[in-house]
Amino acid sequence: MSLYTKHEKIHPRIILGFFTRLKALSGFTLLGIYYTFPWLQWNGNQLVLFDLPARKFHFFGLIFWPQDFIYLALLLVLAAFALFFFTTLAGRLWCGFACPQTIWTDAFLWMERLVEGDRLKQIKLDKAPMSLGKFRIKVTKHTLWVIFSLFTGFTFVGFFVPIHELTSAFIEFNLTDWNTFWILFYGFMIYGNAGWMREQVCIYMCPYARFQSAMFDKNTMIVAYSEKRGESRGSRKRNSNYKEKGLGDCIDCKMCVQVCPTGIDIRDGMQYQCISCSACVDACNGIMDKMDYPRGLISYTTENALNGKPSRIFRPRIFVYGTILLAIFISVVVAISTRSLVQLDVIRDRNSLFRETPNGLIENIYRLRIMNIDEQPHTYTVTASGIDGLQLVKDREVIIVASGSVMTLPVRLKVEATNLKKRSSTVVFQLTAQDDPKLTISEEARFLGPFNFR
C-alpha cells in the first residue's frame, strides 16, 4: 500500500470571462516587463542591471552602490506591507494574478494547448498508448518548453550581465562557466516548476498558502460558492421548474472544477489550495447565462456578503496597513530623491585624545572616509571650521575619488590652546567637489584639548 496518493495531472479547461481576461492581461504585461526591460537603455546604460562584479546597480537611470543597501531593505519592507495590505483587502490577489509561478504556468499551459489541443484532446492523448504520433506531439511540446525555459534563464542572467554582451558571447559560443550555469539552472527551474509541478508548487511548496488565513477576516474578498442558493445540486433541463424538485441553482456541471488550475471544487468551501484566480467565477457565470439564472452563484465576494450581512471594505486594519504602506513609500521616494552622491565619514584617532606639537599647538588626528557614489570621478576639497584659528593639515593636496570608490584620507587639525574654550569642541568637516559645487557634504566631529587652558 502506498503512503501517498498518486498525483493526477490536471488539465484546466480554457474559459473566457472578465477575470480570465484580466489575468491574461496581467500575465502578458508582467512577462512583457520581464523580457523587455533588460534590452531597454537609459542614458547609455541598461534600464535595469545588477552589475555585481562592478558593484553597481542601474535602475531607471539611477545608480546604486553597496552602500545604498538601506534602500533595498526599505523596498523589501514596502513589499511585505503591500502584500499584507492587498491580501487583507482582496484576498490572494497576488497568487491569482501576479505570482511568477502562476504567470509562467499559464504560459506553459498555453503552449501545451497550442500543441496538444483543448482539455478533452489532452486527456485522450495522455490515456492513449505511446505511438509515433503521440511521441511527436510530446517531443514538440517539450521542445517548446525547453526553448522558452532557456530563453527565460538567458533573460534572467541578462539582469546581472549586460545583455548585449551576453548575447554576443552566446552567438560566439563564448559564455563563461558561471553564465552558462545560471542560464541552465534558472531554465531548469522554470521548466520543472511551470511545466511539470505546476499546482504542486502552490499547494505543497509555497508558504504563503499556509499563513494567508492569518490576514483574512470576514470582510476580505474571496472566491466563494453560495451554498444557500446552490444547494441541493442536480441536473435539469433549461426553463424547468427545478424549485419544485427541491433543487438549487447549481446544475452540478462541474465546470468550476474543470477550469480550476489547482483542481479543487470551490463548492466544498474555502480551501488553502485556492489561488483566487476566479476562473470558476467566469465559468459559473457562463453556465448561469445559458440556464437563464442570475449570475453570482460563485462570486468574488466577502464572507459577510455571502451570509447576507453588510461588508466593510474600508476597516481599521486596512487604514493601518494603508497608512504604514504610504509612509514607507513616501520615505523611500524622499530618501532616494534627496540622497547625496558623496558621503563622508569622520573617524577620530582613538590611540590618543590629543597631543601638543613642539610649537605649542593642540593637535587631533582623524581619518576621513570619502565615498563617491556618482557615476563620474570627482576632485574634492576639504575644509574644517568650528574653532577660531583652526588649521587643517592633510597628507595629499589633490583628492581624486573614482566613481563608486572609497578613499581614506588621514588629516590633522591644529589650534592654539588659547582658542579652546572647553575640553571638547565641535568641528565641522566640509567636502566639496571642485567641478560640481552642488556635491557638498558636511560632517561633525569632536576636537579634544587639555583640561586647563592658558
Annotated domain spans of the chain: 7-339, 342-448
pLDDT of residue 352: 81
- pLDDT value of residue 24: 95
| CATH level 3 topology of 342-448 | Immunoglobulin-like (2.60.40)
Burial degree of 365 (CB within 10 A; 0-12, 13-18, 19+): middle
d(CA 184, CA 372): 37
Q: Compute and round to an integer the Cα radius of gyration of the chain.
A: 32
What gap in Å lies between CA 111 and CA 220, rounded to an integer? 34
User: Most confidently modeled of 183-197, 213-227, 263-277, 320-334?
Assistant: 183-197
435: Cα separation from own chain's centroid: 38
**Is the backbone peptide bond immediately before 232 cis, with ω within 30 degrees of 0?**
yes
Question: Strands 406-416 and 361-372, how do they pair?
Answer: antiparallel
Convert the pLDDT of each residue in 306-320 to its tens digit.
Answer: 888 888 888 888 898
Place of cell 534558472: 186
Q: Of all helices (H) and strands (E), which one includes residue 300?
A: strand 298-302
If you search the block for the grid coordinates 525547453, which residue do you land on? 146
Length of the chain: 454
Weakest-pLDDT range from 101-110, 155-164, 243-252: 243-252
Q: Where are the beta strands (DSSP E) in 313-420?
A: 342-348, 355-356, 361-372, 378-385, 391-394, 399-401, 406-416
- Collect all residues with Cβ–Cβ distance below 8 Å to 419 and sequence separation of at least 6: 387, 388, 389, 390
Kindly indicate the confidence band of residue 353, based on its pLDDT and cuts at 50, 70 and 90: confident
pLDDT value of residue 4: 61
Pairwise CA distance, residues 227 & 299, whole Å: 12
Packing angle of the helix pair 18-36, 132-157 (nearest 10 deg): 60
Global pTM reads 0.83
pLDDT at res. 339: 84
Q: What angle do CA 351, 342, 429 make, to 5 degrees?
A: 45
| Residue whose entry in the numeric block shows the C-alpha cell 563617491 | 372
- Looking at per-residue pLDDT, the higher value among 84 and 281 belongs to 281
In single-letter form, the type of residue at position 406 comes to V
Computed over every residue of the chain, the mean pLDDT equals 90
- Assess whether pLDDT exceeds 80 at residue 213: no
